[in-house]
Amino acid sequence: MTRLIDDRLIPMTRKTFRLGLMALDGCMLSSLSGPADALRVAQTLAEIRSPNDAPKFESVVFSARNAKRVRSESGIEISDIKPLGRDQQFDLVLVPGINHHRPGELWQRRAEFEPEFAALRAFHLRGTRIAATCSGTYLLGMAGLLDGRRATTSWWMASSFRRHFPAVRLEEQALMLEDGNIITTGASTAVFTLVVRLIAEFAGEELAQQTSRMMLLDTERQSQAPYVSQALLEKPRHSLAEKITHFLDKELHNQISVSRLASHCGTSERSLLRHFHAHFGSTPLGYIQHLRVERAKALLEATQLSFDEVVERCGYSDVPSFRKLFKRETSLTPGDYRERFRLRAR
């Protein structure tokens, strides 16, 4: 691994990095094959640079229930899976994303994963670093390994994740978070951010950069925020939440106060605040600002309106203030966002 010296990652002298990939029925194949491929590319590049002294990367696909084969969510079968012996040693164990149709589905299926929970807890007790990507973060949460920790998950699962794991300090906009020896990442391709980080730790930043360039990986991404789509987020199923959502959709271009919103919903301001924290994980003001940024994103993607016109349609009069809010929420300027995500005619 590495030592941090003068804010630099200095690779240590150990020559082999072993990545354990946990095989699961219904897993996303890319969550296993992607990291394995990236490490293999790093291995090849390292051997070209230093044929006689190259670091070694190993990827081992294993099963917590000693299955000999599993079927990925795409239907492709994964075989040659190694049994999990008691003395199996890994530098890091990675839990892949798992196919599911609704954010809360994995919670309902939690009894199916007891062998995986037991294996993950055993690795944790031995001090092994553990990572999960995409929906695999649910398994870490259900195993109790994220309680009290900062963590992230796929942005579209955030509402469900927060509801099922209230003891976790969820930061859904983060692309990757490490807290102690636990690492979580966002959706599928965020796993490459983790792998590049591991290559840098083990063999140095130069090899990590070369691997990124060879595989056309975007190492500049730091946040999931630019990719969030309000239309795909899980909506709270509650009559008051539905009243709030309906009202805000109609009135977002106007000035909205907490008292006005509470009056429309037939509740007190105090009850409204409690409801927002419980169902939206935010204050009313924070949620309204978030919706306005979402509207601005949609207008920047689909129209040629100037930013001043976009701001007006989002219920703001102070353009510089909204520009700052937009960048804070998305990590991009409005111009950069439009250039990256605008809908282009074919």
Burial 283-309 (b: 16+ CB within 10 A, else e): ebeebbbbbbbbbbbbbbeeeeeebee
The predicted-structure confidence for 17-56, as pLDDT tens digits, reads as follows: 999 999 999 999 999 999 999 999 999 999 998 888 899 9
pLDDT, residue 202, reads 94
What structural domains and CATH numbers belong to the chain? Answer: 2-225 (3.40.50.880), 235-341 (1.10.10.60)
Q: Give me the pLDDT at residue 308, please.
A: 93
Rounded to whole angstroms, the Cα distance separating 335 from 345 reads: 18
Instruction: Judge whether residue 10 has pLDDT over 60.
Output: no
Mean pLDDT of 292-302: 89
Tell me the per-residue pLDDT of 234-247, one tens digit each, with 9 for 90 and over.
555 567 877 888 88
Higher pLDDT, 214 or 341: 214
The mean pLDDT value for 277-282 works out to 77
Helix or strand or coil: residue 57? strand
Residue type, 88: Q
pTM of the model: 0.70
Mark 102-134 as b/e (b = at least 16 C-beta within 10 Å).
ebbebbeeeeebeebbebbeebbeeebbbbbbb
User: What integer pLDDT is reported at residue 7 of this predicted model?
Assistant: 47
**Mean pLDDT confidence for 163-184:** 92
The answer, yes or no, to whether residue 332 has pLDDT greater than 50, is: yes
pLDDT band at 229 (very low <50, low <70, confident <90, very high): low
Confidence of residue 12 (pLDDT cuts 50, 70, 90): very low
The answer to which of 166-175, 239-248, 252-261 has the lowest mean pLDDT is 239-248
End-to-end CA distance of the chain: 47
HSE-CB of 271 using CA atoms within 13 angstroms: 10
Bigger pLDDT: 43 or 14?
43
CA 217 vs. chain centroid, Å, equals 16
Query: 344 falls in which pLDDT band (50, 70, 90)?
Result: low
Most confident segment among 24-28, 128-132, 150-154, 277-281: 128-132
